[in-house]
Amino acid sequence: MSINRKQRRLQEKSSGMKTTKKIRDNAELALEKKQIGMALKNKGREAEAITPLKEALRLDSSLADVHFALAMIARTKPERHVDMEKINASIKDKKFLLSSYSAIMILLRQKRQYKEAVICQEEICRLKPDDIWARVDLALLLNIAGQVERAAIELSLALNKEPQNIMLKGLYSSSLHNPSFNHFHPEVKQAFLECFKNLYDVHLRNFWAPWLTLMMKDPEFAEIKNARMLDDTAFIEWADSLDEESGAFLNNPYLTKGLCLLVVADYLMERFFTRLRRYLCLNYETLVSNGRIKIFEKFIDALAQQCFFNEYVYMQQKDEEQSLQSLGQRKEKTAIALCACYTPLYKNFPAQDHVLMSLAEEDSDFAALVKTQYLDPAEEARIKAEIPVFGAFANEISRAVQSQYEENPYPRWTTICTTALPSDDLVFDPETKDLPFRILVAGCGTGRHAIGTATRYKNARITAIDLSRTSIAYGLRKARECGMDTRINFVHADILSMKDWPEPFDIIECAGVLHHMEDPFKGWEALNSILKPNGLFKIGLYSEISRQPIIKARDFVAAGHYPSTTEGIRACRQAIFALPTTDPIYNFVARSLDFHTASAARDLIFHVQEHRMTLPQIQEMMDRLGLVPLRMLVSNPDTLYMYDKMFPDDSSRKSFKNWEIFEKKFPLTFAGMYQFWCQKTVYSA
């Protein structure tokens, strides 16, 4: 029998009321079950809590706190056999559950309960298995919680799903916190190879350690792991035994690309590379005659790149120098590349660009070597003439520092991420950081700092100054290469002359510079005079407490009368490598990335001028300049975790008094330097 429209509306209304009543009844019953289950769980009676919690979630699938309670039991009490996969499969509509989970996550992070937050994010990933950004969030939490190996795996899985995602690549390189891998992870190897494809998608400076630790777990590189422990005689026998199959690892792109892009800061690897380079140099003609040189060709190209980037800091012996004289007369590509493992192409072959360019057309690896060692230095020489000059260079110490960086531009670098990424480095809201700020990078060196700043502030007008024209030329070439040159005005200037600069700045960044001046306060004062009221400083200064091992190393250099030449730096490094591994100089200096290039080693322990400071001294200088601290910049997750536990009331992490207490307890906290944001008050002089 048919029903009319009015009857249908009444029927639908009645049905809706029944549905609403059922939902309300279910919600009330779910709340009752939840209260019972949570009470039992809080009393430690998890076995009894599971059933009412499951029933509560069945009745109301939006109860994220119930879902999280079950997840906590599953992780902490595996003997209870709580199957989260089965529970998730029974939830038809996960939308409300996920929205509720975000509130739990925010609460856990605010309370700095990072381990619990990890479990929460794991469940979000389980509920959203195809969401790569959920994986990224999990990885970031794992880093904060100190689970860096797991974090690297999660980041790698996300990147491998979308290898062309530039934002994801940038986050990958900025979030990888030196995991020490206990096992080989092919997904991490794949992600590293993706990161090696473009110089300006990622910042690879700190990749060398995870790259190397993963390599030592990789069965494909077992030959290196074994050979680097051999004595000299056994090493030669091993090298003699290599054939195309056993030497295939030398052509593996994971090794060759790594050598082209990373400075490998490991003594055992340096020893391996040095001995293999020596073997190839002394036996080159034999290897050519028996055809075995083909085994090493790609490796030689890559090693030449590594040696150029570390500025030929590896030791070499007299018999190698003698062999190089005859090797330098040969015109084949591999002989030229082998010579480039000892001296750059622009010095070895100053007037043979036609030969080099002809050979480069035949081989992309050799072409890359020619660009690095021949074409780029030639371009930098041309650029030096273009750089504008501002002010005088009257200070004697400034001129001495200038001379050092003209001889050894610092730092030599290859990669940087030019994608704007979320960063704790910024003290601005997202809305304000895109304003057209005027920014000064004071002491820009070879340009990496200035390019990084230009990346973060996309509408800023940036001026970058430095004492060294050679350093600026390197930076300007790299800026042109990555398309940032129109954003940055490079100027040859001394900080002391900047008090006469015609326009004030909104932000001044000066990291690792003031402590190399005759009087750091005068340098800071000159910069403060051109900073607007309410303007911001980002400052980096050496720590007196954390730098004690460096002081010992500087004393070691002075006692050994090592000159700051390439030969002196090489000899000093070998003497430090010979120290017991328990020696503070070896343990701190020889393991430092900066010890593994000539310019960085010179900057680290041979510098012509160095001041070190305490936090009270820095605070006193800021008081005199009318500056107030805003935030201490620390990237190590473990350090932040410990600080937050010690000083829960300092959520901005800006209290210098707190950091002074913390540093006394953990003396190597600021082994690099103090880095912090501070602000000029309206009434500053």
* In 352-494, beta strands by DSSP E: 389-390, 438-442, 461-466, 488-493
Which pairing describes strands 461-466 and 531-541: parallel, antiparallel, or unpaired?
A: unpaired
Does residue 431 carry a pLDDT above 90?
no
Class of residue 375 by CB neighbours under 10 A (exposed 0-12, middle 13-18, buried 19+): middle
pLDDT at 497: 96
Residue 527: pLDDT band with limits 50, 70, 90:
very high
Examine the domain organization and report whether 415 and 448 are in the same domain: yes
Residue 104: strand pairing partners: none
Calculate ∠ Cα 444-447-448, nearest 5°. Answer: 105
Does residue 426 carry a pLDDT above 70?
no
Calculate ∠ Cα 430-434-435, nearest 5°. Answer: 120
Q: What is the mean pLDDT of residues 90-98?
A: 80
Q: What is the mean pLDDT of residues 629-658?
A: 90
Nearest to 636 by CA among 436, 424, 451, 429: 424
Residue 1: pLDDT band with limits 50, 70, 90:
very low
Q: What is the mean pLDDT of residues 16-44?
A: 77
Do the domain assignments include residue 312? yes
Examine the domain organization and report whether 64 and 107 are in the same domain: yes
Examine the domain organization and report whether 428 and 507 are in the same domain: yes
pLDDT, tens digit, 9 for 90 and up, residues 72-88:
898 888 888 888 888 88
Do the domain assignments include residue 196? no
Do the domain assignments include residue 1? no
Gap between the Cα atoms of 387 and 323, Å rounded: 41
Of 18-27, 35-44, 649-658, the one with minimum mean pLDDT is: 18-27
Do the domain assignments include residue 62? yes
Gap between the Cα atoms of 356 and 340, Å rounded: 12
Examine the domain organization and report whether 67 and 127 are in the same domain: yes
Does residue 348 carry a pLDDT above 90?
no
Q: What is the mean pLDDT of residues 358-374?
A: 94
Residue 531: which region, alpha, beta or left (left: phi > 0; alpha: psi -120 to 50)? beta
Does residue 209 carry a pLDDT above 90?
yes
Rounded to 10 deg, the angle between the 297-309 and 267-282 helix axes is: 120
Do the domain assignments include residue 10? no
Examine the domain organization and report whether 555 and 513 are in the same domain: no
Would you tell me how many other CB atoms lie within 10 Å of the CB of residue 138? Answer: 24
Gap between the Cα atoms of 73 and 76, Å rounded: 5
Class of residue 22 by CB neighbours under 10 A (exposed 0-12, middle 13-18, buried 19+): exposed
Last residue of a domain, one of 140, 160, 180: 160
pLDDT at 282: 97
| Residue 33 structural domain | 27-160
Examine the domain organization and report whether 264 and 327 are in the same domain: yes
> Total domain count for the chain?
5
Residue 180: which region, alpha, beta or left (left: phi > 0; alpha: psi -120 to 50)? beta
Examine the domain organization and report whether 47 and 85 are in the same domain: yes
pLDDT at 327: 92
Do the domain assignments include residue 3? no
Examine the domain organization and report whether 536 and 556 are in the same domain: no
Q: How far is CA 126 from CA 63, 65, 170, in A?
A: 16, 16, 25
Q: How far is CA 602 from CA 141, 322, 369, 569, 595, in A?
A: 37, 28, 25, 7, 8
Q: What is the mean pLDDT of residues 102-113?
A: 83
Examine the domain organization and report whether 581 and 668 are in the same domain: no
Amino acid at 527: L
Cβ(393)–Cβ(496) below 8 Å: no
280 vs 80 pLDDT, higher one: 280
Does residue 336 carry a pLDDT above 80?
yes
Examine the domain organization and report whether 578 and 622 are in the same domain: no
Instruction: Say which CATH number the domain at 506 has.
Output: 3.40.50.150
Dihedral through CA 101, CA 106, CA 112, CA 116, nearest 10? 0
Does residue 595 carry a pLDDT above 90?
yes
Last residue of a domain, one of 382, 412, 435: 382
Residue 93: pLDDT band with limits 50, 70, 90:
confident
Last residue of a domain, one of 541, 558, 577: 541
To which residue do tokens 């992070």 refer? 109
pLDDT at 5: 57
Do the domain assignments include residue 103? yes
Does residue 6 carry a pLDDT above 70?
no
Examine the domain organization and report whether 252 and 359 are in the same domain: yes
Dihedral through CA 493, CA 497, CA 498, CA 500, nearest 10? -130
pLDDT, tens digit, 9 for 90 and up, residues 283-333:
999 999 999 999 999 999 999 999 999 999 999 999 999 999 989 888 899
To which residue do tokens 């800006």 refer? 654
Examine the domain organization and report whether 421 and 510 are in the same domain: yes
Pure H helices in 111-221: 114-127, 132-144, 148-161, 166-175, 186-195, 208-215
Residue 537 makes CB contacts below 8 A (sequence gap 6+) with 507, 508, 509, 510, 527, 528, 531, 627, 677, 678, 679, 680
Does residue 266 carry a pLDDT above 70?
yes
Gap between the Cα atoms of 188 and 190, Å rounded: 5
Do the domain assignments include residue 188? no
Residue 9: pLDDT band with limits 50, 70, 90:
low
